[in-house]
Amino acid sequence: SDLQKQEERGELLQPLIFVLLVLCSVLLYFKVSLMDPGFVKAEEEAKAGKSEEQSMVIAQVPSHIKMRRCGYCMVKQPMRAKHCQLCQHCVRRYDHHCPWIENCVGEKNHPLFIVYLSVQLIVLLWGGHVAWSGLYFEQSWDWLQHNIFLLMSFLLIVIFTIVVLLLLMSHLYLISCNTTTWEFMSHHRISYLRHSELENPFDQGVVLNFWKFFC
C-alpha cells in the first residue's frame, strides 16, 4: 500500500516526530500548570532562610534587614519568596504568575517551564515551515478564498513564535544572571536587594547559574 511505501522511504518519520513533539508540548503544559510551583507551607518555617544560597546572600545584607512574615498567609517568607494573590500562597523563588498556564512560575516548576517553552518554540517553527511550504502566492480573489485559512494560520504561528521566542530569551538571560522576573522588575522595592553590597548577590557566573538552575 501507499502507506507501507512511505514508511519504507522514511517519509512518515518527520510527521511522527512532529506529532510526538506536539504531544510532549501538551503534556508539559499540563504538568507545569498543575504542579506545585514551590508553595511555602507553614510547617516549613523552621527551614526558612537556611539554604546555602541564602546564607551566602545574608552575609552581604545589613543585619537590620530581617526576613518578614507574609501579611496575607502569615507564613515566614524565605528569601526570594513572594506572595501571589491569584494563587493565595507564598511561592519560593517566585518568578511571575503566568496567565498562559494559570499558575505561578517558581522554584519547582521554573526549569520545566523553560523546557516547555523550548519544545513549544520548536513546534511553532516547524508548523510555520509546513504552513509556508503550502502557500503559493497569486494576486487573485480566488487564490485568497482558497488559501485564507492557511494564510491566517501562518500569521498566527508567526505571532506566537515571536512571543514565545522573546519570552524564552528573556528567561534565559535572567537565568544566566541568577535573578527572577520579579527581582528584575522590582529590584528597588526588595529590601535584601536594595540594601545589598552587591548589585546582584545571587550571581555566581553564567555557567554556575545555569548549572544550579537546571541541576
Q: What is the pLDDT along the chain (215 residues), one digit of tens a residue?
A: 555 555 555 567 788 899 999 999 999 999 999 999 999 987 665 454 455 555 555 555 555 555 678 888 888 888 899 999 999 899 999 999 999 899 999 999 999 999 999 999 999 999 888 887 766 666 666 666 777 787 888 899 999 999 999 999 999 999 999 999 999 998 888 888 887 778 888 999 999 999 999 98
* Block residue for cell numbers 548589585: 199
Among 98, 104, 177, 215, the one annotated catalytic: 98
Q: At what angle do helices 141-176 and 110-133 cross, to 10 degrees?
A: 160
Q: Find all residues with CB under 8 Å of 55, minimum gap 6, and list them.
A: 49
Find, among 196, 198, 202, the residue nearest to 63 by Cα.
196
Q: Report pLDDT for 190.
A: 84
Q: Report pLDDT for 188.
A: 85
pTM of the predicted model as reported, rounded to 2 decimal places:
0.81
Q: Report pLDDT for 137.
A: 60
DSSP bridge partners of 39:
91
How far apart (Å, rounded) are the C-alpha atoms in residues 208 and 173? 14
Q: Report pLDDT for 90.
A: 92
Q: Report pLDDT for 29.
A: 96
Q: Tell me whether residue 98 is one of the annotated catalytic residues.
A: yes
